[in-house]
Amino acid sequence: MTSPARPGARVLGFGTYRPVRVVTNDDLAQRVDTSDAWIRSRTGIATRRIADADETTVMMGTAAAEKALASSGIDPADVDLVIVATCTSPSQIPGAAPQIAHRLGSGTAGTFDINAGCAGFCYALSQAADTIRAGSARHVLVVATEKLSDYTDWDDRTTCVLLADGAGAAVVGAGERDEIGPAVWGHDGSRPEAIRVPGLGDNLFRMEGQAVFRWAIGLAPALRRICERAGVAPEQLAGIVPHQANLRIVEALANSLGAHNAVIARDVVDAGNTSAASVPLALSRLIDAGELRRGDPVLLFGFGAGLTYCGQVIRCP
Ligand code: UT7
């Protein structure tokens, strides 16, 4: 084997899909004992998008991927690998990745799904970057697509007010310099019951909200390690995009860094918690709004079921 010069990895473009239907807090209050005031004060959520029957994980993921490819200027046929992060596939088998690759026309791509709960996009992005750096692919398509509404107990007020649907995608390719920093990750596998969809007869999402909340807030030191591994000081960050679990968690994690120049993603306010899709949805919104520009360093951080987490600093496309 020869050792050619190692390429850098960078994100070439993002794409998103948000379901058409908007569900308000008042809509939910007609079914469960809750209120707009409670939901806003405890979660920051005002509205969320809930997919209709034809908006499947594969449909939403494909739509987000098409936009990411278009914004990257990459032909689907030039995608060598499709990685789909999801924890809400309608079936255990087959995975979503081959179906999305087929719909896109990425006929020669390798395909696989990963399930790392709400941390899925950041794990998948890390795998995509390493695949590019290793020279195993020219372009990797990362798709995070979630239809949490399929697994929501609409009579459980502690979870139904949080969960939502959507998809985000990124195209990763080679660049002269590395624009996707090293991943920092970890887990606490001692509490598998903290967030679960048991399966085998019980397909509904359950969460020990307070326990997860405390664990998530305690991850603040990981954000500092992500900056250190990337060689970026917190005050150099232009943006912070934590998983959009709950606005209180988003703000606590982001504020813990003292990144005074960084815009903080608050997509949760009208998108709810879309699990793995939340990081690319929230990041794309900041880019589309012109709040982040090409080359800006942004910290991404996913955390959730497992319990597991992963994050990295990337440069905006
Ligand atoms: O995405 C994966 C990662 N997920 C997360 O990071 C989510 C982490 N957890 C959370 O975001 C929060 O814990 C929740 C939003 C789930 C709950 O907020 P909280 O401030 O931790 O509320 P709590 O569980 O301490 O409940 C406070 C009270 C309880 O009533 P009592 O026992 O004090 O009488 C709950 O029964 O609020 C009640 N409650 C509600 N009241 C109105 C719980 N849910 C609701 C509701 N509406 N929807």
Q: Can you tell me which atom of ligand 1 is nearest the CA of 161?
A: 48
Structural domains of the chain ordered from first start: 8-175 (3.40.47.10), 184-315 (3.40.47.10)
Answer yes or no: is the C-beta of 304 below 6 A from any ligand 1 atom. Answer: yes
Which pLDDT band holds residue 9 (cuts at 50, 70, 90)?
A: very high
Answer yes or no: is the C-beta of 210 below 6 A from any ligand 1 atom. Answer: yes
- When pLDDT is averaged across residues 109-133 and rounded to a whole number, the result is 98
pLDDT single digits (tens) 70-113? 999 999 999 999 999 999 998 889 999 999 999 999 999 999 99
Which pLDDT band holds residue 5 (cuts at 50, 70, 90)?
A: confident
Q: How far apart are CA 111 and CA 101, in angstroms?
A: 7
pTM above 0.95, yes or no: yes
Answer yes or no: is the C-beta of 227 below 6 A from any ligand 1 atom. Answer: no
Alpha-helix residue ranges (DSSP H) falling in 35-119:
36-43, 57-72, 96-104
Which pLDDT band holds residue 4 (cuts at 50, 70, 90)?
A: low
Nearest CA to ligand 1 atom 25: 210
pLDDT single digits (tens) 239-264? 999 999 999 999 999 999 999 999 99
pLDDT at 70: 98
pLDDT at 6: 83
pLDDT single digits (tens) 188-200? 999 999 999 988 8
Lowest-confidence region among 196-200, 229-233, 273-277, 295-299: 196-200
Buried-state track 282-298, b at ≥16 Cβ within 10 A, e below 16: bbbbbbeeeebeeebbb
